[in-house]
Structure 1
């Protein structure tokens, strides 16, 4: 398994596929089926790939975990003012996502992505913040076991519904 920066359209297609499959599996019991089906398609179009690249920040890092030429997971860390969430402070980075292909859950890929992402943060970053759905026990357990502490709560709109979320912070 190699963890490296996102590079090229094949990586982007793989990232989008992993995102869709993992999202659907992770949230199957948390979100309505119509929301899951409408979120992303596991076979992204070229327009989807273009939108991904257009949405990448100037200040951040998107990593992919690749094995045998196939993207198996990704992580998205950001520290620019325009693409971080309101709960991320001035000397902090936001972890927007870590997703791993459902077939690889429990194999350590998420941890590898997290460790590599933390190692690539600028020296001035003093903490990393993220939010997870409050009912997503799997994600909450992942972050708690990796020294993130619950530091707040908010909501996140998915579809037309607000869902409660929990904010986690890891001081560096």
Structure 2
């Protein structure tokens, strides 16, 4: 069975998924952002540190998250959603903080399932935004295909000493 065809189920994330989520988070950053984010920053990403952060976030309940996982519990991807962190956010607005899929699963449809699951959890007419690196054309195309569009807001973020342009997308 090819890696892209691994059977999975999208379900709410549990605290026990923190290490798997952290693994996918780090691996995906290292693959997807190579050439965008400084190599030294990517090399320094630490799964154990991310596990601690994810465990805290999942225990605290501030973040809602879903995973694409195998029957054996292996996390193949995840999406997280919570209150908007933007200063100009409307009251009650939500933000997709992260959506990442193990690189071997890219193109499998699992990311689409994750995004649809998260958006289905959002009440009607509640604004949803997310931020994406301007140079990340693959992700920008994915978001456009799934009903999100740039809203004209941009920001520079320092990532590993590089000033990277981010573009905010909003659900249409």
Provide TM-score, normalisation by structure 2: 0.85
Aligned to 2:103: 102
Deviations 1:67-106 (A, max 9, x none): 1321000001012x6xx23354323210011000000000
Equivalent-residue separation in structure 2 for 1:150 and 1:78 (angstroms) = 19
Change (3 A) 1:19 1:48: closer
RMSD after superposition: 1.9
Equivalent-residue separation in structure 2 for 1:72 and 1:87 (angstroms) = 33
Change (3 A) 1:161 1:88: farther
Which protein, 1 or 2, shows the higher relative CO under an 8 Å CA cutoff with sep ≥ 6? 2
Question: What does 1:1-172 correspond to in 2, within 5 Å?
Answer: 1-9=8-16, 11-38=17-44, 40-41=45-46, 44-45=47-48, 48-56=50-58, 58-69=61-72, 70-79=74-83, 84-121=85-122, 123=123, 126-151=126-151, 152-171=153-172
Change (3 A) 1:129 1:29: same
Structure (1/2) with the larger helix percentage: 2
Equivalent-residue separation in structure 2 for 1:89 and 1:117 (angstroms) = 19
Equivalent-residue separation in structure 1 for 2:87 and 2:81 (angstroms) = 15
Q: Give the secondary-structure state (helix, strand or coil) at the position aligned to 1:12.
A: helix
Moved over 6 A (4+): none
Listed as ranges, the gaps of 5+ residues in structure 1 are none
